[in-house]
Amino acid sequence: MGILELAIITIVKILIVLTLVLLTVAYLVYFERKISAWIQNRIGPNRVGYLGLLQPFADVLKLLLKEDIVPTVSNHPLHALAPMIALFVAFSTYAVIPMGPTITLFGWQIPLAVADINMGILYVLAITSLGVYAITFAGWSSGSKYSLLGGIRSSAQMISYEISMGFSVGGVVLLASSLRPIAIVEAQSGLMWNAFIQPIGFITFLVAAFAETNRLPFDLPEAEPELVGGYHTEYSSMKFAAFFLAEYANMIISSALIVTLYLGGWQIPFIERLNLPVGLTVALQVGAFCFKLAVLLFFFIWVRWSIPRFRYDQLMSLGWKVMFPLSLLNIIWVAILIMVFKI
């Protein structure tokens, strides 16, 4: 496979993934509103298009047409840069998530991930860490006390939870002996899903994922009752939309990561025993990945509309006094598994 073909394939994959993610984000917003409505015995958006299905496009149109208000006291370049960083981080992380096994098409070996790199997990951790800059910049450059408080909260929170996240991933990496996402998925064949093998790690990662995406119950950076809108108080129009988009894209990334790291990725346990044609197997596996993703996304939304926000001290003590020791405990547990049970 020459460099040109690789480029073409990669570009095609990028376009497909980008489109998919954007569409998913749009409909994720729609479902967020629908599910919250159902939980509250309401109907939710139902006016734009059949069952309100065109609502996301109406929302986007509205956001695009709004006036872009930039506070005079803000640091203009940074103020404009922050949403770009947020979007960049959200989309570039997606590069290493495998959505299916490697397939053979027109004689080419094509992995169903944009980039199959051997230090993919490290890449994910590195890129998501950049996300904190987006929020901190946004908070600082707005020149508003609410934004600043939101930004500070956000950086403290993300740093605290990144530690337990990193240690949780450590367990996964130890078991798979690889940083390559595809290898990690393949290591979870059968029912050897990491969620079952290292449940503590799964829970700490899940909680850290909520904290990293700033979703309720960890949405202190934008806590409306205290901070108006937190770090994005002073944003409007498409810049606000960028943050909005990034938040939902981050949700998808986090869900996809959890699926990859803990829920066996695209794998369906024991599907190889059915002896299905290869094409169908791949299709089913991609479907399985999407299904797992959808379940996790629903879980994200469900949690948001059930659990109230933490107090700031509770958030910090949970991060440092509970999640951090638990993730360490998980590493020890995995070490014991490897040393004693030789898996």
Partner 1 sequence: MSVKKRKKDFTFLENMYIPEIVKGMALTLKMMFRPKVTMQYPEVRFEPPSSYRGRPVLGQEENGEERCVACGLCSRVCPSLAIEVQAAETTREKERFPEKFEINMLRCIFCGFCEEVCPEEAIIMSKDYELVFDNRADAIYGKEKLLVPVKKLEDRIQFIRKYK
- Binding residues for partner 1 (CB under 8 A): 35, 37-43, 302-303, 305-307
| Residue (38 or 108) nearer to partner 1, CB | 38
Alpha helices, DSSP H only, in the chain? 3-39, 55-65, 76-92, 120-141, 145-176, 181-186, 194-197, 199-212, 224-227, 237-262, 278-304, 312-317, 324-336
| Residue (38 or 291) nearer to partner 1, CB | 38
Triad 122, 126, 128: Cα angle to 5°? 115
Query: Which among 315, 239, 272 has a CA at the least distance from the CA of 86?
Result: 239
Let me know how long the chain is.
343
* Tokens found for residue 93: 């992380």
Compute the distance between CA of residue 15 and CA of residue 31 in angstroms, rounded to an integer. 24
Contact between residue 243 and residue 235 where contact means Cβ atoms under 8 Å apart: yes
Cβ atoms < 10 Å from Cβ of 15: 10
| Residue (20 or 294) nearer to partner 1, CB | 294
Query: Which among 319, 312, 315, 310 has a CA at the least distance from the CA of 164?
Result: 319
Query: Which among 36, 60, 35, 39 has a CA at the least distance from the CA of 48?
Result: 60
| Residue (40 or 109) nearer to partner 1, CB | 40
| Residue (88 or 312) nearer to partner 1, CB | 312
| Residue (25 or 301) nearer to partner 1, CB | 301
Triad 58, 12, 280: Cα angle to 5°? 95
| Residue (142 or 168) nearer to partner 1, CB | 168
Rounded to a whole number of angstroms, the minimum distance from the CB of residue 38 to partner 1 is 4
Rounded to a whole number of angstroms, the minimum distance from the CB of residue 309 to partner 1 is 14
| Residue (45 or 230) nearer to partner 1, CB | 45
Rounded to a whole number of angstroms, the minimum distance from the CB of residue 200 to partner 1 is 13
Give the pairing of strands 103-105 and 108-110: antiparallel
Rounded to a whole number of angstroms, the minimum distance from the CB of residue 327 to partner 1 is 16
Compute the distance between CA of residue 7 and CA of residue 3 in angstroms, rounded to an integer. 6
Rounded to a whole number of angstroms, the minimum distance from the CB of residue 304 to partner 1 is 10
